Amino acid sequence: MRLRCAVIDDYQNVATTVADWSPLDGRVEVVPFTGHFGSEDELAAALADFDIVVTLRERVPFPASLLGRLPRLRLLVASGMRNSVIDLAAARAAGVTVCGTESSSAPPAELTWALLLGLARGIVEEGNSLRAGGPWQSTVGADLEGRRLGLLGLGRIGGRVARVGLAFGMEVRAWSRNLTAERAAEVGVRRASSKEELLAENDFVSVHLALSERTRGLLGAAELALLKPTAYLVNTSRAAIVDQDALLAALREGRIAGAGVDVFDTEPLPAGHPMRTAPRLLATPHLGYVSRANYARYYGQAVEDVLAYLAGEPVRVLG
């Protein structure tokens, strides 16, 4: 009997076309799901008859409670090599192998600049006004050249963002708890002495940190209050790093010039959620990793993960 593989949350219905799944023909039945399952009960019912599940990034949590309701599950493949919503210990206890894939740092870095430039030059507001026959030029753009860009995190993505900022003629500074002066010098930026200095002295601040217990809630009301009233905040990393309620309050009260956000506490964002209509906010539906080349890498290596598992030699095992 063939094994069954569910490919879940394939919103754009492209998982089976951006990569070659034919090596699994005759051995594994691949079934894509394009809709989002809104509850654990829905997930458990839909996946009960599958031996393999391919999940995209952190769209779907796999806690111990769900894993315990999937007795046939033997292989869980997640895109990327880090996943905070899969209970790896519970998976091991249930006999489920969890594998990952490589992920490019280019797409999220590019989206960061799309948001930052969109905010600085009022792209959405001006574009909508033009299409609606509104006023010709209603905003005055913020300059990048000669301004300060502060980066919370200078890893693979933060480093890419820094180099673009330098190319725009910006003064770039970075901070994280583990950032060394050597790493900052390697990228060509200045290392800020503290998080507080980075927030208070920069015109644009962008978040590029991994989510951990140390970074969860790193930017709360007190930290956001340090930003200049003319400053912009961009978060394409993880929603939980920035207190969502505190950010909404800062935007509503005009205490910062604006924010660009690609990540949210709940995804997909519910209809009527205040982040959909907040003033001074440019929001996108978690597009950071969503690019054709990245999808081809994710799903192509998912096929490799399945083949390696079937051969008894799993690759890219997480945890």
Active-site residue numbers? Answer: 238, 267, 286
Strands, DSSP E only, in the chain? 3-7, 28-32, 52-55, 75-78, 97-99, 148-152, 171-175, 190-191, 204-207, 232-235, 258-261, 281-283
**Is residue 306 within a helix (H) or strand (E), and if so which, with residue range?**
helix 292-310
**Is residue 130 within a helix (H) or strand (E), and if so which, with residue range?**
helix 123-131
- The dihedral over CA atoms of 218, 221, 225, 231, expressed in degrees to the nearest 10, equals 70
Tell how far CA 299 is from the center of its chain: 17
Best CA proximity match to 302, nearest among 315, 285, 286: 315
Backbone angles phi, psi at 117, to 5 degrees: -70, -40
d(CA 170, CA 76): 43
266 DSSP 8-state letter: S
